[in-house]
């Protein structure tokens, strides 16, 4: 699970670098392709941030309920699942902010 998440984050970061690369070309900055790509990335980052926050909230609620209703010997396992869900949710939400911050440097 952790390796898969890191792999997905790594691919997302590489994709972000690939799609923002055309912004470096000064003569192409005002073209519809570059501005459209920046707008698309900004909108995708906003949607993904919302979806990650929603999924984190739903999974966290499920984990809290299972944590509270679990037997005493199983509570640490469910508490760990809850904290991992929160950590991944915060990380996923921050990625959208990083994409937005990178695009803001290029006028996006």
Handedness of CA 34, 39, 43, 48 (dihedral sign): positive
**pLDDT at 22 (0 to 100):** 54
> Which residues, other chains included, contact 64 with Cβ-Cβ below 8 Å and sequence gap of 6+?
82
The CA-atom distances, in angstroms, between 28 and each of 14, 33, 85, 97, 104 are: 21, 8, 41, 25, 17
Contact present, 59 and 67 (Cβ < 8 Å): no
pLDDT above 90 (res 80): yes
Which DSSP category does 72 fall into?
T
pLDDT(10) > 90: no
């Amino acid at each position: 699970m952790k390796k898969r998440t890191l792999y997905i984050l790594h691919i997302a970061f590489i994709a972000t670098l690939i799609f923002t690369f055309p912004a470096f070309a000064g003569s192409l900055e005002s073209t519809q392709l570059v501005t459209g790509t920046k707008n698309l990335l900004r909108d995708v980052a906003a949607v993904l941030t919302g979806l990650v926050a929603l999924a984190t909230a739903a999974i966290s609620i499920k984990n809290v309920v299972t944590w509270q209703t679990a037997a005493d010997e199983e509570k640490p396992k469910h508490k760990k699942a809850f904290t991992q869900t929160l950590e991944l949710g915060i990380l996923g939400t921050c990625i959208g902010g990083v994409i937005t911050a990178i695009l803001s440097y290029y006028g996006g």
